[in-house]
């Protein structure tokens, strides 16, 4: 094999053989693709959006399968781990039990929430006219001080014919817009139902054959990549699966506990809409850090329609329970299952919320947790290879060294 070398004797030389030339060609090709992608970023984003739109039902199905797999695996273990019976039927039975439990929770929540919402709407309908009249009386009482504004209003001439004509045109345009919006809404609803159905069927297939699919995936990895590379990919997948599972189960349990705490506290202080607001806070608490505050804002507005004083009390109760939940409940229930420091949780929520909204807030915490764990392993591996003593980089040692340096100065 011919080898071309460049460099001065005694210095590092650059060898061009067939393997290196192939590598250089691949790097050059990647750079050209990157340049073309940056130059045509609009087309790239549009193409990615189109691919994601086509793949959305399957992505949704994978998400549904992952969420359902968490309780299904535990139910399957609790029922069948001591017996060898129903080997072929334990997975479908576990899936049906899990699905029945999920549907039951949704039905119970709707049974609790819907009557409360109807009662709330009726209460708002009763209270709203009085509030509007009070606001009007206040505005008219203040307008008596604005003599100049009143005299100006009296001097203005109003062309009622022109107003009626413009109002007619506006109503026609509004009616046309409403019809178009209605057709678009119906189309979107039908599309969402179809996507959900396809995703659900795909999720059932994934859950019923997850071991077979996992085995096929491992075969592909070891066939395509080197053994150590395939093992690293499997480790990352295992870490991601464990992190997401712990995050989902811990977040759901923490939300249920928070909802029960609010229901008990609101019942003790005889606040209105205790059940509705408690369930609402439990659902919004699934959004890390900011979700409970969203539920608090909605609950405070609902209570404000009944009693401003009780709304103020509710805010105080919320702040107290939020401190108890953040300092006592969350560390013990969720604990270090995610393994992500608070500052990076805030960063993950901010980035995820800006990119994908509420879904991004939920997904980016376990994603960042996986990246954080992998980066820590990379850093520790590099430190070990360089032979850096633990005393040099250990957090406690660094802190003590900085304190000692400050004292000496």
DSSP state at residue 132:
H
Of all residues in the chain, what percent carry a pLDDT higher than 90? 6
Q: Is residue 372 in a domain?
A: yes
Q: How many domains does the chain have?
A: 2
Q: What is the 3-state secondary structure (H, E, C) of 177-229?
A: HHHHHHHHHHHHHHHHHHHHHHHHHHHHHHHHCHHHHHHHHHHHHHHHCCHHH
Q: Is residue 253 in a domain?
A: no
User: How many angstroms separate the CA atoms of 299 and 263, rounded?
Assistant: 12
Q: Is residue 154 in a domain?
A: no
Segments forming the whole domain that contains residue 372:
338-404
89-139 per-position pLDDT tens digit: 788 888 898 889 888 888 887 887 778 777 777 777 776 676 666 766 666
Q: Is residue 35 in a domain?
A: yes
pLDDT of residue 15: 54
186-226 per-position pLDDT tens digit: 788 888 888 889 989 999 998 888 888 889 999 999 998 88
Q: Is residue 255 in a domain?
A: no
Q: Is residue 345 in a domain?
A: yes
Q: Of the segments 6-20, 152-166, 178-192, 305-319, which one has the largest average pLDDT value?
A: 305-319
- The larger pLDDT score, comparing residue 353 to residue 237, is at 237
Q: Is residue 350 in a domain?
A: yes
356-405 per-position pLDDT tens digit: 776 777 777 788 888 888 888 888 888 888 877 777 766 554 444 443 44
Helix H or strand E encompassing 154: helix 147-155
pLDDT of residue 396: 54
* Reported pTM: 0.66
134-161 per-position pLDDT tens digit: 766 666 666 555 555 556 555 555 555 6
Q: Is residue 26 in a domain?
A: yes
**pLDDT bracket for residue 10 (50, 70, 90):** very low
Q: How many CB atoms lie within 10 A of CB 353?
A: 17
**Each residue of 271-294: b (16+ CB within 10 Å) or e?**
bbbbbbbbbbbbbbbbbbbebbeb
Average predicted confidence (pLDDT) for the chain: 77
């Amino acid at each position: 094999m011919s080898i071309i070398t460049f460099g001065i004797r005694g210095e590092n030389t650059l060898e061009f053989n067939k393997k290196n030339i192939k590598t250089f060609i691949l790097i050059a090709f990647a750079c050209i693709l990157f340049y073309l992608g940056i130059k045509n970023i609009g087309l790239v984003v549009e193409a990615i959006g189109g691919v994601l739109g086509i793949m959305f039902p399957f992505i949704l199905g994978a998400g549904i399968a992952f969420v359902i797999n968490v309780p299904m695996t535990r139910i399957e273990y609790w029922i069948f781990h001591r017996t060898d019976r129903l080997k072929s039927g334990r997975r479908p039975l576990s899936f049906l039990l899990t699905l029945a439990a999920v549907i039951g929770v949704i039905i119970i929540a709707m049974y609790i929430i819907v009557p409360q919402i109807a009662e709330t709407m009726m209460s708002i309908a009763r209270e709203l006219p009085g509030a509007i009249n009070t606001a009007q009386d206040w505005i008219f009482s203040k307008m008596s001080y604005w003599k100049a504004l009143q005299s100006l209003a009296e001097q203005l001439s109003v062309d009622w014919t022109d107003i009626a004509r413009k109002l007619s045109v506006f109503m026609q345009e509004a009616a046309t817009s409403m019809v178009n919006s209605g057709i678009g809404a119906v189309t979107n609803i039908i599309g969402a139902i179809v996507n959900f159905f396809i995703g659900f069927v795909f999720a059932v297939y994934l859950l019923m054959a997850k071991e077979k699919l996992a085995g096929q995936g491992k075969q592909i990895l070891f066939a395509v990549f080197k053994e150590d590379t395939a093992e690293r990919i499997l480790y990352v997948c295992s870490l991601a699966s464990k992190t997401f599972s712990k995050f989902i189960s811990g977040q759901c349990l923490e939300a249920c506990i928070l909802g029960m705490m609010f229901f008990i506290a609101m019942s003790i202080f005889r606040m209105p809409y205790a059940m509705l607001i408690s369930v609402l806070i439990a659902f919004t608490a699934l959004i890390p850090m900011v979700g409970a505050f969203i539920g608090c804002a909605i609950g405070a507005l609902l209570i404000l329609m009944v009693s401003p004083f009780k709304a103020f009390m509710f805010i105080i109760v919320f702040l107290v329970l939020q401190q108890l939940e953040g300092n006592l409940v969350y560390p013990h229930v969720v604990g270090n299952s995610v393994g992500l420091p608070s500052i990076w949780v805030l960063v993950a929520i901010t980035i995820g919320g800006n990119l994908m909204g509420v879904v991004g807030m939920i997904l980016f915490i376990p994603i960042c947790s996986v990246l954080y764990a992998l980066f820590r392993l990379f850093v520790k591996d590099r430190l070990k290879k360089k032979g850096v003593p633990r005393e040099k980089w250990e957090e406690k040692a660094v802190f003590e060294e900085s304190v000692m340096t400050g004292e000496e100065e």
